Amino acid sequence: MALPWLQRVELALFAATFLCGAVAAAALTRTQGSFSGRCPLYGVATLNGSSLALSHPSAPSLCYFVAGASGLLALYCLLLLLFWIYSSCIEDSHRGSIGLRIALAISAIAIFLVLVSACILRFGTRSLCNSIISLNSTISCSEAQKIPWRPPGTALQFYSNLHSAEVRPKDRRPLLG
């Protein structure tokens, strides 16, 4: 049975949201790992000789919230995608009004959490970058990736990872701002 065009659009949106949520969660988790588990969002960098150091990280729970909200959204969309593919194509079932209302309520909560997460990610990254640039050791945050960090091995590709978590994979424009 062919799916109506609105259901196809819905399934495509679920798939795109799954990809975006998974990329954001993975990129932020990787960045936090490169800082030895410390959260760089809203962090303060200091110049330690010729190397940079994250002197005042944020609470790890801040990064956990952003990565968790993105990861849960990705999982939720993946499960809905699989469920509706199964229901629409295999069982040929239709939604009832109560099921639709519950799905809309859960989706509204998920969208709110992702909006909060996106704001935290955007402004937290901007705050860290402003802290790095204010040290006058580099002109951009992407250039700061080339400067050694203390302890050695810290902050590997931190800006590339945070930027990947912040932008849409297709066109690489920021989600907010």
CB burial of residue 1 (10 Å; 0-12, 13-18, 19+): exposed
pLDDT > 90 in the chain, percent: 16
Q: Please, which residues have CB within 8 angstroms of residue 162's CB and are 6 or more apart in sequence? A: 27, 28, 31, 40, 121, 125, 128
Q: Please, which residues have CB within 8 angstroms of residue 138's CB and are 6 or more apart in sequence? A: 132, 144, 147
Q: Hunting for tokens 């945050």 — which residue is that?
A: 141
Strand 51-58 versus strand 149-150 pairing type: parallel
The pLDDT score that the predictor gives to residue 146 is 81
> E-assigned strands of 33-141?
39-48, 51-58
pLDDT higher than 90, residue 51: no
pLDDT higher than 50, residue 19: yes
Which of these, 147, 15, 34, lies nearest to 80 by C-alpha position? 15
Residues 108-128 have pLDDT tens digits of 888 888 888 888 988 999 999
> E-assigned strands of the chain?
39-48, 51-58, 149-150
Name the pLDDT band for 176 (thresholds 50, 70, 90). Answer: very low
Residues 90-107 have pLDDT tens digits of 766 666 677 777 877 887
Name the pLDDT band for 177 (thresholds 50, 70, 90). Answer: very low
Q: What is the mean pLDDT of residues 142-171?
A: 75
- The mean predicted confidence, pLDDT, of the chain is 81
